[in-house]
């Protein structure tokens, strides 16, 4: 019986500096994209697939200046419009799932997210504006009932190529890089993100799935 080879995937995360300002909202503009069902798009630049369509109850957004070379994928923002008598004080919490440029906007929201910035019975009036002034701030992501998951992309080809995305990353952290540890040979390989929260490995030897997910003081880790 041949020896099984195991790998350890270590995720390096950047913790944002604490902000002590009592008012941390930034002024900007937001619009929305066309979607017949109001949900997100499964073809977003973050590579989330169907997850990007439905995550956070489809309250999702594409960004441009907040893209940060893909590190902005999966981050969360509180966005509220400022049109008097139409907009709520709370606005909507959105997850970044795509890259998109609009009319001097920081956010291109899913129709569902855009409409949820409005008070009751005012969503159609808000839609009619097309583009609105907003305030936004970075907030921790919260995915109730979910732990961090790893999605193996459909274009992975065993055993030559593996592409993986990280889903449901809670908190207010930026995933910057990962390290893959081959336990049998004690080799450590650093991998940068190729797009969004995704990594790719060439000529890997491993299992078909991910297992034994855990976390320690250095970040998230799992065996594959």
108-164 pLDDT, tens digit per residue, is: 999 999 999 999 999 999 999 999 999 999 999 999 888 888 887 777 776 677 777
pLDDT at 203 over 70: no
Residue intervals of the chain classified under CATH 2.40.40.10 are 18-139
User: In the structure, what pLDDT confidence band is assigned to residue 223 with cuts at 50, 70 and 90?
Assistant: very low
pLDDT at 186 over 70: no
What percent of the chain stands above pLDDT 90?
40
User: In the structure, what pLDDT confidence band is assigned to residue 15 with cuts at 50, 70 and 90?
Assistant: very low
CATH of 18-139, one of 2.40.40.10, 2.60.40.1220, 2.30.30.100, 3.30.420.10: 2.40.40.10
Q: How far is it, in rounded angstroms, from Cα 60 to Cα 65?
A: 16
The pLDDT of 52-81, averaged and rounded, is 93
DSSP annotation string for 61-94: EEESTT-GGGTTTT-EEEEEE--TTTB-SS-EEE
pTM over 0.85, yes/no: no
Which of residues 137 and 171 earns the better pLDDT score? 137
């Amino acid at each position: 019986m041949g020896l099984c080879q195991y790998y350890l995937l270590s995720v390096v995360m950047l913790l944002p500096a604490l902000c002590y300002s009592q008012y941390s909202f930034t002024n900007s503009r937001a619009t929305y994209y066309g979607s017949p069902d109001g949900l997100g798009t499964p073809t977003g630049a973050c590579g989330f697939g169907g997850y990007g369509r439905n995550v956070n109850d489809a309250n999702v957004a594409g960004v441009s200046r907040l893209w940060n070379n893909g590190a902005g994928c999966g981050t969360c923002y509180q966005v509220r419009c400022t049109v008097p008598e139409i907009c709520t004080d709370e606005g909507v919490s959105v997850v970044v799932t795509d890259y998109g440029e609009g009319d001097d906007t920081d956010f291109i929201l899913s129709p569902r997210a855009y409409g949820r910035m409005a008070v009751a019975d005012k969503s159609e009036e808000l839609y009619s504006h097309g583009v609105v002034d907003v305030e936004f701030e970075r907030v921790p992501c919260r995915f109730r009932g979910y732990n961090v998951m790893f999605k193996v992309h459909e274009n992975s080809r065993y055993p030559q190529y593996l592409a993986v995305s990280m889903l449901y990353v809670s908190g207010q952290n930026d995933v910057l890089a990962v390290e893959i540890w081959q336990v049998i040979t004690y080799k450590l390989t650093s991998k940068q993100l190729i797009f969004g929260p995704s990594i790719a490995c060439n000529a890997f030897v491993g299992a078909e799935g991910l297992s034994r997910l855990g976390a320690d003081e250095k970040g998230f880790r799992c065996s594959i």
